[in-house]
Structure 1
Amino acid sequence: MQRVGELAALGAATCWAVSPLAFGAAGRRAGSLPVNLLRLWFALPLLTLLCWATRGQPLPLDAGSHEWLWLGVSGLVGFAFGDLCLFRAYVLVGPRRATVVMSTAPVWTALGAWLLGGERLTALETAGMLAVVFGVGLAVLDRQPRTALPAPVADRPATGLLLALGGAIGQAGGLVLAKRGLAAYPFLPATQIRLLAGALAFALLFTVTRQWGRVVAALRDRRVLGLSIVGTVIGPVTGVSLSLLAVQEIPAGVAASLMATTPVLILPLVALLGQERIGWRAVAGALLAVAGTVGLFS
């Protein structure tokens, strides 16, 4: 099938535009860190069943040391380091500014893929990637709260922006490292390995900080459980699997650029839910991002 990589990247972006709505609602009830751990734990058995149904074996026992090393480190960098930085940035500077910084992920991905894998982009792909990044940034900068939601703790903006940058670099590093471990290995069990590494890292964090009580409290809340499961199916299972399929089929920088359209895709959703109002900058940014996407498909 032609353009399977590009379509997979856009599919991942769509999943990541929807899943934060479920995770956000769950996080407001139970806290972002417990929900972050639960989403990884819930994703593992779902992926195990999916691998069993499609491959005939539930666990990635056919993976060699090369796959375990690169995909495991990818999970640590992307899920543990990247998500930990990003969720903390949400608290310090709020999701709007954090998402703007996260839109630089394609640049870091392309740089990492060039340094580690020797990937080079054509002039049209580079122009399309930059158009997507600037379009996403313009669209997200225009987002304004419509409802009187609690303001983020913004007395440490420098720290928050640095953490958001860490989240962008973590996401980029996770994709580049995953591509090194994928090669001809199927993307579904590869996702299993990445999720396992991230889940174990978060479990270690909760053990060291003695916060397991928060996880137990989240498990006892049926609404948190339901929202977390829905978000898990859409995000860590479907979205992450599609993202690995994308980087397996096309250059990592191109895949990351297409996946960076998530903030644009989420704009109509938050507008329909009454959480944001959309101005002309958001529309212009969305059109620029779409133009960049067309360039990446050319």
Structure 2
Amino acid sequence: MALVAAFGMAGGSIAFEIAGKKIGSLTVNMLRLIQGMFFLSITSLYMRGMPLPTDASLKEYTFLGISGFIGMFLGDLFMFESFVLLGARITTLIMTTVPVVTAIVAWVLLGETLSFKEGIAVFLTIGGIFLVMFYGNKKGETKEKFPIKGIFCAIGGVLGQSLGLVFSKIGLESYDPIAATQIRVIVATIAFIILISIKRKWGEIKKGAKNKRAIKWVVAGSFLGPFIGVTAMLIALKNTSTGIVSTLSSTSPILIIPFCVLILKERIKPIEILGAIISVGGASLFFI
């Protein structure tokens, strides 16, 4: 399920990058949550006999709600903007630092120490990203390809995903993964509605919803990402440790390369493939 999640996230990332460049990341975020909720409700009705998570306890609503706000609202708000600015491939590569960030947060807040192996893991993960983003940099080429704003947005996505995973694990326990995903989506949708209202962007959302070419990619991304990807990840979290799930699902930077070649027609350098493998390998060291 963790590997299914990785495939779903990889395919969804490409679809959302294409749609985001056409209608904007905020519009894509709002539309993909609505469509994702539609897929989830149909599945929940078939699997559980109820379209909405009305059987969740207060604890489940609380922790999954926090996870939805941090992970699917704040984290995805930054990540989707990063898709537009950096592209899906580089964004997902930076997302391999989720285990690194989790370890550093635990070190700072909980006083947990990093072992020699974990130190090597941090070095490899960040080193692989550095290799992809700065290898062969000539006359500011990297700065043009990877704007600072995009890098900061990707880092914001990393922080959101890291904290969101922790709260999801607490809220899941014995609860249904599909219903858990619904709670996260509902909270994130409410948060985006408030944000769009404050920024008075409903006209932009309405205009984007009329772009048929973009909507096709949003539908594809919603099916692969919020539906297949997120649900598969929660099923994996329910059945094994957070570390294993984080490691397997972080293979997206490798899995996304064929999508980039076939769909986006990108030319991938061997050094970029090597950098992705090094980063994923580094992240995996945390849990081996």
Could you say which TM-score interval applies, normalised by the shorter chain? 0.7 to 0.9
The corresponding residue for 2:180 is 190
Superposition deviation, residue 181 in structure 1:
0.2
User: What letter is aligned with 2:249?
Assistant: M
SS at match of 1:79: helix
1:52-102 Cα offsets, whole Å, 9 max, x none, are: 101111111110000000000100000111111223345556656544432
Separation (CA, whole Å) in 2 of partners of 1:225 and 1:155? 27
| Distance change >3 Å, CA 180–CA 143, structure 1 → 2 | farther
Separation (CA, whole Å) in 2 of partners of 1:231 and 1:97? 17
The corresponding residue for 1:279 is 269
Aligned counterpart in structure 2 of residue 23 of structure 1, from 9, 13, 16: 16
Aligned counterpart in structure 1 of residue 3 of structure 2, from 10, 18, 21: 10
The corresponding residue for 1:141 is 133
Separation (CA, whole Å) in 2 of partners of 1:71 and 1:40? 16
Separation (CA, whole Å) in 2 of partners of 1:53 and 1:194? 20
2:95 matched to 1:102?
Answer: yes
Comparing 273-282 with 24-33, greater Cα deviation is found at 273-282
Aligned counterpart in structure 2 of residue 66 of structure 1, from 59, 62, 74: 59
User: What letter is aligned with 1:231?
Assistant: G
* TM-score, reference length from structure 1: 0.80
| Distance change >3 Å, CA 14–CA 142, structure 1 → 2 | farther
| Distance change >3 Å, CA 112–CA 245, structure 1 → 2 | farther
2:26 matched to 1:36?
Answer: no
The corresponding residue for 1:49 is 42
Superposition deviation, residue 270 in structure 1:
1.2
The corresponding residue for 1:164 is 154
Please give the residue correspondences for 1:259-298 in structure 2 after superposition, counting only pairs within 5 Å: 259-273=249-263, 275-288=265-278
Preserved CA contact (<8 Å) 2:44 2:178: yes
Preserved CA contact (<8 Å) 2:97 2:125: yes
Aligned Cα root-mean-square deviation (Å): 3.7
Separation (CA, whole Å) in 2 of partners of 1:288 and 1:23? 26
The corresponding residue for 2:203 is 213
SS at match of 2:182: helix
Superposition deviation, residue 277 in structure 1:
1.9
| Distance change >3 Å, CA 65–CA 238, structure 1 → 2 | same
Separation (CA, whole Å) in 2 of partners of 1:274 and 1:96? 10
Superposition deviation, residue 48 in structure 1:
0.9
Aligned counterpart in structure 1 of residue 227 of structure 2, from 226, 237, 258: 237
Separation (CA, whole Å) in 2 of partners of 1:155 and 1:263? 18
* TM-score, reference length from structure 2: 0.82
Q: Which runs of 5+ in 1 are unaligned?
A: 1-7, 145-150
SS at match of 2:180: helix
Q: Provide the identity percentage.
A: 36
Preserved CA contact (<8 Å) 1:142 1:278: no
Separation (CA, whole Å) in 2 of partners of 1:245 and 1:132? 29
The corresponding residue for 2:167 is 177
Separation (CA, whole Å) in 2 of partners of 1:163 and 1:208? 21
Separation (CA, whole Å) in 2 of partners of 1:50 and 1:218? 27
Count of aligned positions = 284
Q: Which runs of 5+ in 2 are unaligned?
A: none
User: What letter is aligned with 2:185?
Assistant: L
SS at match of 1:57: coil
